[in-house]
Amino acid sequence: MRIPLLLLALLWQPTLHATTMTIGTGGEQGIYYQVIKEFCRLAKKSDPTMPCKLQASSGSIENLRQLKTGEVPYALVQSDWLYQASQGTGPFAAQPQPELRALFATHAEPFTIVVRADGDITTLEQLKLAPIDMGLKSSGTRQTALALFNVLGAKEQDLDLKSVANLSEALCNKQIDAYGLVMGHPNRIVLDTAKRCAVRFLAIEGPVRDQLLKGVRYYQRSQVPARIYPGNLKATPTFAIAATLVTNAATPDDEVYRLTRAMLSQQTSFNEQTYGYANLFHKARNKIGPVLSVEQHPGAGKYFEELKAAGKL
């Protein structure tokens, strides 16, 4: 039986957009999952046929591996791991990923050091002799912390590094004197800590921060925002990485353009209750440029060029 050409066309048309745009995130309770869930909601609001789907993961390194193997076409990753993967350095020395391309940066993740407000720790130097938790040994937080301590003249083996099950409980019960996290704000762990005991943040600024940022594309000046946590009325200077939505160079331009446009054209409707909202890059011009640690994908670049032409960038 012959199928009329018109019917064939109708049957074929949906397959033009049938590719599911699966995005690697992080744990389902984490900020990456929440942020991408919100961007997918906005994408579907803008384009109801948008097949935007989340895939939970253990974080940036797993996301980059899955991009490499083709298990996911998109992922949200930390700018420092992204840069190392693209350059084939650190844990990616054996399998570099020069094909990685950025769509845009979603939000800043300030490196945040939390201490008790009534504790003795008031300077970064004091951390070198104190019991502290700076994330798991293979985590992004640990590597970022070690970059800081390297500037301070301390090696990993010289530090009293702990690995506690509950950061809030351990800090408030004085098992540790500080913990550090690469995080968007507000953050559930810090909010939970602040409910248990008064907290404050250590400033990372001046020559120490300048040295960290010198010649590095994946760090930027940042701050822990003011008035988010009890008792912290002023912003605390620090440095941050940028959470970046990425894909591979082979991903079709029109697909990347469609996803970028759908995600960003409705951003005025972003749910402010989403964790990490305080560090979101709200303005389009802040999502690209130096904040990106790898080349931007042409499909995403097309959308931002349209914004520029319309005087919105």
Q: Tens digit of pLDDT for each residue in 242-267?
A: 999 999 999 999 999 999 999 999 88
Q: How confident is the model at residue 215 (pLDDT cuts 50, 70, 90)?
A: confident
Q: Confirm whether 42 is domain-assigned.
A: yes
Q: Evaluate if pTM is beyond 0.95.
A: no
Last residue of a domain, one of 239, 263, 292: 239
Q: How confident is the model at residue 296 (pLDDT cuts 50, 70, 90)?
A: very high
Last residue of a domain, one of 194, 220, 239: 239
Does position 130 have pLDDT exceeding 90, yes or no?
Answer: yes
Q: CATH number of the domain that 209 lies in?
A: 3.40.190.10
Which amino acid is located at 205 in the chain? E
Phi, psi of 162, rounded to the nearest 5 degrees: -110, 165
Q: Confirm whether 66 is domain-assigned.
A: yes
Q: Domain range spanning residue 127? A: 109-239
Of 173, 175, 201, 208, nearest in space to 187 by CA:
201
Last residue of a domain, one of 188, 217, 239: 239
pLDDT at 63: 93
Shared-domain flag, residues 183 and 171: yes
pLDDT at 234: 96
Shared-domain flag, residues 155 and 227: yes
Shared-domain flag, residues 85 and 115: no
Of 109, 110, 139, 145, nearest in space to 35 by CA:
109
Handedness of CA 98, 62, 36, 286 (dihedral sign): negative
Of 108, 57, 47, 52, nearest in space to 79 by CA:
108
**Strands 131-133 and 178-182, how do they pair?**
parallel
What total number of domains does the chain contain?
2
- Where are any strands of DSSP class E within the chain? 21-24, 52-55, 74-78, 100-116, 131-133, 160-161, 178-182, 199-201, 220-224, 236-248
| Residues 47-65: tens digit of each pLDDT | 999 899 999 988 888 999 9
Q: What are 284's two structure tokens?
A: 């389009």
